Amino acid sequence: MRHDDRRDFFVRFWGVRGSIPCPGPDTIRYGGNTSCLEVRCGDRLFILDGGTGLRLLDRALGDGPIDADVLFTHSHLDHVNGWSYFSRLKDPRHRIGVWAGHLGPSHRLADVLARFLADPLAPVHVGNVQAALTYHEFRSGDRLRPRDDVLVRTAPLNHPNNATGYRIEFGGRALCYVTDTEHTPGRPDDTIMDLIEGADIVIYDSTYTDAAYPDFVGWGHSTWQEGVRLAEAAGVHTFVAFHHDPNHDDAAMDAIAQALSAARPGSIVAREGMVLRP
């Protein structure tokens, strides 16, 4: 792996589930932790969401100081339940930018995250946070420049309490993270289409199958089949099914992977530990 390449661009999956962690013997091969991705743009570190996969990333980062940006899609529990176990928060050597665009004028990002660091609920609480945290609130749809050589495009998603999709552009390549969004059957989401157009990798909310979806209308999630349809229409290179239903064990995920590969060869079902390069 080319970690010393200043133009290297990759994503590593630390948590791939939605709703609730589901570790156990039936989910070993795909993983049971909730949403958390590590994205490297050269020497820049971005963390997408802070689910329970964040604990694994935290451990893998080693002992040295970090300068990172955490991009939250939204603040539902499965996307923030690793935040209070992020040991970097207790260390003043670390600089962490925290970004979110889903809250609107009714909530402040710092206050929302502080709820997950409140006694007696968490081992890391607001009183012992020493890392240099900088909060960045934006409106979904804005274009962000968290680093001079990294452009982040954002888009609003169709999810209860709102959510934000991200497109990270670096070195002429593009990686999209579009999770926790519900589609309208038979009508592609033009906002998502615009965000993912021509992207090298698109990671998409594939919680359900088309057959199961009618039982979950209004829950704010999509299907791998809808992801395939969007990827085809938008000219996406690699489609990645993500945010797996916690009720889908390894056997169920194998069946989805087989069907996905047949429907769009080269597509991938996300697994913990998997690394992809745009």
241-271 pLDDT per residue, tens: 999 999 999 999 999 999 999 999 999 999 9
Binning pLDDT at 50, 70 and 90, where does residue 2 land?
A: very low
Which segments of 128-229 are extended strands (E)? 132-137, 143-147, 150-157, 163-170, 173-178, 201-205
Tens digits of residue pLDDT in 48-79: 999 999 999 999 999 999 999 999 999 999 99
Query: Which pLDDT score, from 0 to 100, does residue 215 have?
Result: 98
Instruction: Say if residue 125's pLDDT is above 80.
Output: no
Superfamily assignment of 9-276 in CATH?
Answer: Ribonuclease Z/Hydroxyacylglutathione hydrolase-like (3.60.15.10)
Does 4 score more than 70 pLDDT? no
Buried b (16+ CB within 10 A) or exposed e, 152-165: bbbbbbbbeebbbb
Rounded Cα gap, residues 257 and 107, in angstroms:
39
Q: What is the pTM of this model?
A: 0.96
H helix or E strand, kind and range, residue 241:
strand 238-242
Report how far apart the first and last C-alpha atoms of the chain are (Å, whole number). Answer: 14
Give per-residue pLDDT as tens, 79-120: 999 999 999 999 999 999 999 999 988 899 999 999 988 888
- pLDDT at residue 127 in the model: 80
Convert the pLDDT of each residue in 143-186 to its tens digit: 999 999 999 999 999 999 999 999 999 999 999 999 999 999 99
Q: Give me the mean pLDDT over the 20-35 stretch.
A: 98
Query: Higher pLDDT residue, 235 or 125?
Result: 235
